[in-house]
Amino acid sequence: MLTVEELITTPVSVDSEAADSAGRQWDSIAKPLGSLGLLEEDVVRIAALTGNPDVRLDRRALLVFCADNGVIVQGVAQTSCEVTRKVASALARGTSTVNPMAKLARCEVIPVDMGIRDFPPVQGVLNRRIGNGTADISRGPAMTPEQCRLAIAYGADLVRELAGQGVQLVAVGEMGIANTTTASAVTAALLHLDPESIVGRGAGLSGAGLERKKKAVRSALETNRPDPADPLDVLVKVGGFDLAGMCGAFLGAGYYRIPVVIDGMISAVAALCAQRLNPCVRAGMLASHVSSEPAGRALLEALGLEAPIHAGMHLGEGSGAVCLLSLLDQALAVYHSGQTFEKLGAEAYTPQV
């Protein structure tokens, strides 16, 4: 496996010629210039990252990083850790919420156990366990630096394995009770934001539960004092095994030049950690949707990305990411259609000032 140092120091260059070629192909198609908006930009980004304007996404996979978080003892979730175990097993069986969505998007779903509490081996769930859930961040660090580095390395190595199998795009999702709490703490630390403005209800907290969640995030930040300039320190102190693994997947996608789709708020937090560790990896990131979690928009703005889907979603499991795949399929059908102005017998649009 690659080390964290290799992942964060390796540059990720883009191919401007491939990007220009993809742009010219879009402009040759018989439609108004740029009329598919962000979807056209995503195809050009993929061409630039891979160095190939013949963009194909025939094989795609969704990695769902699953883990439990010790901060659940602070009453920050409506359900128990048992739900993480059950959903991870359902993901492997193909019966969780994202599975039928992924089937329509022709996307393989791969659940990964990064540290589900008291979880025995289950067929179809990859075992990359770092520990039996993290510690309570409101009372001390979530994990050790060594655990964080191993989780990041595992995430990157999963992308390496998929690339070796011919996967052309990876989506990154998660499942873990109380992980909106850890994700909120990481967001607050990295973006210097007050928990009051970014902590949301997650999977459906009551008003009292929301106050407990805000209190837990404040306590985590006050107790651990994570260094905003050091994403590794932030992950160690107030993150989760799932977040660290996802961060590794984003770093690995950049290293192996595989386009990678961000899901919602939690996925975006991990993407921001990766981007802060190695700014180059942003080149291959594609935003899918604007999460209805309060921190959703702030995270995308920090990443400098726009998301084409505004649907008020906050399901998790990579559900928003697979929705983007369906939109990309529509865009690529046009991109490869060959229905040019020349074939139409019409004068092409030209940029106007």
Phi and psi at residue 171, to the nearest 5°: -110, 150
Give me the sign of the Cα torsion angle 229, 263, 285, 151.
positive
Core vs surface per residue 283-318: b (16+ CB within 10 A) or e:
bbbbbbbbbbbbbbbbbbebbebebbbeeebbbbbb
Q: Give me the catalytic one of 6, 317, 342, 347.
A: 317
Asked if 71 and 159 count as a contact pair (C-beta separation under 8 A), the reply is no
Do the Cβ atoms of 259 and 12 come closer than 8 Å?
Answer: no
- The SS3 of residue 335 is helix
3-state secondary structure of 151: helix
The 260-262 sheet, strands edge to edge? 126-127, 107-115, 60-67, 169-175, 260-262, 285-287
Q: From the CB of residue 147, how many other CB atoms can be counted at a distance below 10 Å? A: 19
Q: Which residue has the tokens 């990083």?
A: 65
317 is catalytic: yes
The residues annotated as belonging to the active site are: 317
